[in-house]
Structure 1
């Protein structure tokens, strides 16, 4: 279906951004030895924390590549498929912690993006792939987020995992769910099926037909919120493993130490 084709091209472009970001950063233990407890060895796997992080980041790069392959294989089933040509830019990497923060930011953004893209496809197989990739990136973001927030879940949270429309994802900004600074104009946002409009709320989403008045959905996919210690920033309010307090969050040495300390017990 036409809407599926444009959505898959968009999905390929954002997935490939992540894969190319991972490839752009040389990952080695020297880079991560400076992390808190970086040279401490776990008795569970006899690996230092830095070696453990390197192994996992290499695995995340491989998973990102598999996502690109899955989307390419799916897209190539259509005779009109052409691999999108994008020139990406990437967030700067100044040290090991900034790489983890950047990876978290993109993974969390893609989790919400693939949730949103499920509303832009019509075939079950395309919806299955969107769901699978959303789950994949959610798991990755939770893992990376554990290095930045020792208490990732909130009993007062009122929203499910954030979801983003393609238009929202193309916005320029530093919040989770905004990748316009890095995607540029390489791919347009796909149109929703039947020329409708996708409206995403905190718990549910609706496809509003063309010409209809959009209903009020309780909650929003993103709300403004002051980040502790950085009052000029705003945040997506969402399950805390994805945004915490929640711009592109800073690295929390204590959280990383606690996460690794659990392996030492």
Structure 2
């Protein structure tokens, strides 16, 4: 079998382009998924997957692109676009040329996003709350400051208590919502574990996140996971009313 048959995923570090070459069949779906998610974890903003030189021999394997886009739809400031001359991939915005896709990327700029790296230390929760407070003030989402701080405290607290790895905290507005995510380097997935003692840092499981966020979830990614949640200003306004 020729060595160029396998699917290759190459990232252009100077742009938001991920180039895929070779052959995509079901055996290579994981390679594509992991490569795209790794790039989306590494940088906020939309990513263009260039499949010009990718031969897709299995129609079912093409669904990996729509699957990745569904996976990241609630991540802060994340999206997937395609350069697809064949027009055969469904469920993802696509252009027939890379120039067209890059123009589409420029037309959907990263309007606002904040992210920061933290060690798995107790003070990380306080620093993350300050990120949320500053971001909500800047984006006119003051009503989401308190629930956002509750959510990020629990997300960060779970990393400190369980993952015990460095983490990236990222947040971005979208219309009248706040999208929060914490990426760590542990494959251990979060789960409801019930209340914890009040003198612990975080540790109340995901009950508080489920209370303040309309949606939340966890995405396995290469070398860890992304735990995310979405808060709606309308929910807070309705509660106050």
TM-score, normalised on structure 1? 0.27
Q: Which has the higher contact order (CA 8 A, sep 6+)?
A: 1
> Where is the helix percentage greater, Structure 1 or Structure 2?
1
> Where is the strand percentage greater, Structure 1 or Structure 2?
2
